[in-house]
Structure 1
Amino acid sequence: MRFIRFNGHGGNEIVSLEEGPDPVPEPGQILVAARYAGVNPADVLQRNGGYPVPPDAPQDIPGLEVSGEVVAVGSRVRRWEVGDRVIGIVGGGGLADRVLAQDQHVWRSPAALGPAQAAALPEAVLTAFDALRRARVGLGDVVVVRGVNGGVGIAACHLVRELGGRAIGIGRSEAALQQVAALGITVALAAGAAEVVASLGNASAIIDLVGGEGVAEDLSLLRPGGRIVVVSTAGGLTAQVPLNLLMGKRADLMGTVLRGRSNAEKALLVGDLEHRLSAVLGDRVSIPVDRVYQAEEATAAFDRLGEPGKFGKVLLDFGA
């Protein structure tokens, strides 16, 4: 197998592309041959030493998602067979061309998508779905998605529509918002978002993919009884929240993260996604690919995540 390794913590100087023997699946695992691998901000946080790895995941191989063909199954696996095409999440080890995954943490790859498009889907869609579940989004809800230009934001807006709500994507870059709008998503510049959201009776839920002081701004966009779910700290680790406004609006302020959850919790989430939305994934719900880098260019892919103008998913190509 070929894989990206973090040799300690630091900057790109600790990143290497290496080769090793293919891993062997344990009884409840599958081994997936992956051409493409999704790169996520969490990978950069892990490289920097700011994102602990679960104890049962590879400690030095980053990557939180997998997409490809099953090439081996563990002794207790009945759900999948060699040759099945799957996508899903992993606790680590995803930036490789051979990836171990729990058999209950993957679902069938949408037939409508090619290999690269499928690789852009799992982490973004499942993270968005988890946040929308936490926010109890359903029919008739108005949902603001702050930080809409990445994969999770785009997925969240598409899923809101499929759940019967109306999404408004908020961002600070007019150019990025134009690209989002081309996907059929209603958008608003952050500076003028309050007027747009107010015209719809304010938001019943807000999915915040920025964090920081924007959380306080979220409250001003929320209707009474609304819910805020924070999914990222890209904009800062702390926020000053006006408690009188939080109390007055009887608002729920929540956070969520996938990686540190138990295998059982992740399996339940994947199962719920399959049950409720698998029919639309790849057809009405897909994620644009921003850029594809060769595996040898992993450091450039990490840098791309922080560059202005990024739109959609960054992928690594490990070759055929």
Structure 2
Amino acid sequence: MSSQKTMRAIAVKNGAGPAEALYVDTIPRPLPGPRQALVKVKAFGLNRMDLLQRMGQYPVPPQAPQTLGVEFSGTISELGERNTDDFKIGDEVFGLAYGGAYAEYIAVSSGMLIHKPAELSFEEAAGIPETWITATQALYLVGAFQPGESVLWHAGASSVSISGIQLAKAAGASAIYVTAGSEEKINFCVQKLGATAGFNYRTQNWADELLKATNGKGVDVIVDYIGAPYFQDNLKAAALDGRIVNLAFMGGVKTEGPVDISPFLRKRVRVEGSTLRSRDEGYQRKLRDMLVENALAKFRDGTFKVFVEKVFAFEDVVEAHKLMESNQTKGKIICTI
């Protein structure tokens, strides 16, 4: 259709490469299909999967456009047919998509949109969907968390764990532990977020310290992004009937040396991996509803906070990706259009 409008979007030179390969391209503006909305993007959040996808190392779901980005905020500019959700043109929204958020417009299922509360800025709202929905999924759906249980969030100052610590605290966790690579990050988790205690994996054997802190009991739910290097210690740190939720393998996928798997029987430990982006829309929508139910009122009254590390202009996306690659951040990196 020759009259289709165009828009600016971030593309990757030659399809894959380093941060420097990102550039602003002009591509056709998407058209909203049935039950979709076209959102004029105000801000989008960066996630680690964006770095992997940019390097050509992430399996992109078939329904995703080429453009990076899964979380955004903005205003609805068009609605597709058969829209039964309570959205209208001009509504301020934020949401989760299979891809395409690094652009001026995104076509997305209206079932994955949430009305933006006036109390949140567009920058804050853009940092919620992927991280808070992933934390909700890890804690409740996979981790089967119950009030009164204890939780360990690895990479405590990562965006998902920042969300998870707040969710666990509000849900009545008996104790919330974190691991992180600096005292500054641990202090942030304990003092700013309300974690019970943190362990520095660079200077401490965190599994031993955790067992000491829990009088040998261990923790009920462990959320891990590191993978192979933590596999044995996760089994060691898990409580009786403990659940270990694997969300990423940032430390690699092959364990070194022999692994003692006796905790699987001795402690009845369950290990389960999970992803979000590869899930069907029904599953994602259920999580969206859980987020609205568990968190939206708390964003409104300030109980839950979105920690934004830095906001970049759309055109400075190369710098934004480099900052994320530095692993120095506590909280979200956001780009605005």
TM-score of Structure 1 vs Structure 2, range by shorter chain:
over 0.9
Does 1:44 pair with 2:60? no
Alignment of 1:1-320 (within 5 A): 1-7=7-13, 8-59=15-66, 61-79=67-85, 80-133=87-140, 134-165=142-173, 166-186=175-195, 187-189=197-199, 190=201, 191=204, 193=206, 194-196=208-210, 198-200=212-214, 201-239=217-255, 241-282=259-300, 283-318=302-337
Q: Post-superposition shift, 1:107?
A: 1.6
Q: Post-superposition shift, 1:210?
A: 2.3
Number of residue-to-residue matches in the alignment: 317
Structure 1 unaligned spans of 5+: none
Question: In the alignment, what sits opposite 2:3?
Answer: none
Q: Post-superposition shift, 1:105?
A: 1.2
Report the secondary structure of 1:23's partner residue.
coil
Distance 1:41 1:209 in 2: 11
Q: Post-superposition shift, 1:21?
A: 4.0
Change (3 A) 1:55 1:308: closer
Distance 2:327 2:294 in 1: 34
Distance 1:261 1:167 in 2: 28
Bigger radius of gyration among the two: 2
Report the secondary structure of 1:96's partner residue.
coil
Distance 1:160 1:300 in 2: 33
Distance 2:327 2:96 in 1: 27
Report the secondary structure of 1:68's partner residue.
strand
What do the CA deviations read for 1:112-136 (whole angstroms, capped 9, x no partner)?
Answer: 2111111111111001111112101
Q: Name the aligned partner's letter for residue 183 of structure 1.
A: K
Structure 2 unaligned spans of 5+: 1-6
Distance 2:112 2:249 in 1: 25
Deviates more, 1:63-72 or 1:105-114: 105-114
CA RMSD of aligned residues (A): 1.8
Report the secondary structure of 1:280's partner residue.
helix
Deviates more, 1:195-204 or 1:47-56: 195-204
Question: In the alignment, what sits opposite 2:4?
Answer: none
Distance 1:251 1:110 in 2: 40
Distance 2:284 2:169 in 1: 23
Runs of 4+ deviating beyond 4 Å: none
Q: Post-superposition shift, 1:35?
A: 1.7
